[in-house]
Amino acid sequence: MTAQLESTTEPLPSAATRLMRPKHVLIIDLEDYFHVEAFSRQIDRSDWQQYPARVVGNTHRLLDLFDQYQVKATFFVLGWVAKQFPILVREVHERGHELACHSYWHRKIYTLAPAEFREDTRLARMAIEDAASISVSGYRAPTWSVTKDSLWALDILLEEGFSYDSSIFPVHHDLYGIPGASRYPWVYTSAAGHKLLELPPATIEICGTNLAAAGGGYFRLFPYGVFKHNLRTVRSQDRQPCMFYFHPWELPHEQPRLEGTSLRTRVRHYLNLDRTFDRLKLLLKDFRWSSVDQVFFAGPASR
């Protein structure tokens, strides 16, 4: 059953068929394998440059695949990546994708003071905008780390001129989540009356509990058919676009394996990496995808 679901031999759907499908939002967190939270205790940020980068080659594979399926996405770019590989970031923009901010140092927001968060956000945004010569209006926190303890970050994003955020995951998790938050796009209003569009990742509700349906490790852990069903359910029952996310490091392109990691980390990071590229192809074939700015702002977002 699973092998059949993951087959990539089927032809692309016709242009007419694709245009009839509603659009979901495809989000790419543009970071490398050594940036992830699971390795933060093993890898010091000062040592990032010592690790062999895979982000350029894997991002090119994604860009070529998106061209093949006529897909546009929003790339939440890590500021460190933009600083180290500005040509890559510019190419993502020039190939028609939206650029947004994913912090500079990939630190959980609730571990930072407000001043540290503001400084990190400004540094990241500057690196991205300098690389591509564009304005950035969207933000996504590392590890979905806008929680009840860090909602103050939304006010800072408004003060810094951001138009939207996608950092609140309405689920229970050991690292993140606000289970009572809206499953659908909603507007955060500051005390000063300024508004920020909040775009939660896709979830489904079963027996009053929200379950993740948004990509990442979940996409590698469960069979593709589960995600196909969940995305169709959200669109047909909730009539909402799904926010689905992916990382370039999830493509199995000779990724170095780190020693001494826990079993939980190995499961979260390495499980089914060899299947993700074929699953992504199926996802692009079965649904229509676009970027945040095109789905919610009817064109390139600006500030």
Local confidence band at 206 (pLDDT 50, 70, 90 cut-offs): confident
**DSSP-derived secondary structure for 164-187:** EE-----S--SS---TTS-SS-EE
Local confidence band at 22 (pLDDT 50, 70, 90 cut-offs): low
Residue 273 to residue 250: CA distance in whole angstroms: 6
Q: Which range among 23-27, 181-185, 258-262 shows the weakest confidence by mean pLDDT?
A: 258-262
Q: Are strands 138-139 and 164-165 parallel, antiparallel or unpaired?
A: parallel
Burial 178-210 (b: 16+ CB within 10 A, else e): beebebebeebeeeeeeebbbbbbbbbeeeeeb
Mean pLDDT, residues 142-149: 94
Mean pLDDT, residues 144-159: 96
Tokens representing 37 are 């939270």
How high is the pLDDT of residue 300?
52
Residue 171 to residue 143: CA distance in whole angstroms: 13
Kindly report the pTM of this predicted structure. 0.87
Task: Pick 269 or 142 by higher pLDDT.
Answer: 142
What is the residue extent of each domain of the chain? 27-296
How high is the pLDDT of residue 20?
39
Mean pLDDT, residues 277-302: 85
Residue 296 to residue 129: CA distance in whole angstroms: 21
The CB-side HSE value for 232 (13 A sphere, CA atoms) comes to 8
How high is the pLDDT of residue 253?
62
Task: Pick 258 or 145 by higher pLDDT.
Answer: 145
Mean pLDDT, residues 136-161: 96
Task: Pick 14 or 212 by higher pLDDT.
Answer: 212
What percentage of the chain exceeds 90 in pLDDT?
A: 58
How high is the pLDDT of residue 176?
81
How high is the pLDDT of residue 243?
93
Homologous superfamily of domain range 27-296: Glycoside hydrolase/deacetylase (3.20.20.370)
Q: Tens of pLDDT along 79-128?
A: 999 999 999 999 999 999 999 999 999 999 999 999 999 999 999 999 99
Amino acid at 30: L
Q: Which residues pair with 195 in a beta bridge?
A: 189
Task: Pick 79 or 222 by higher pLDDT.
Answer: 79
Residue 253 to residue 255: CA distance in whole angstroms: 6
Kind and range of the H or E element at 127? helix 114-132
Coil vs helix vs strand at 212: strand
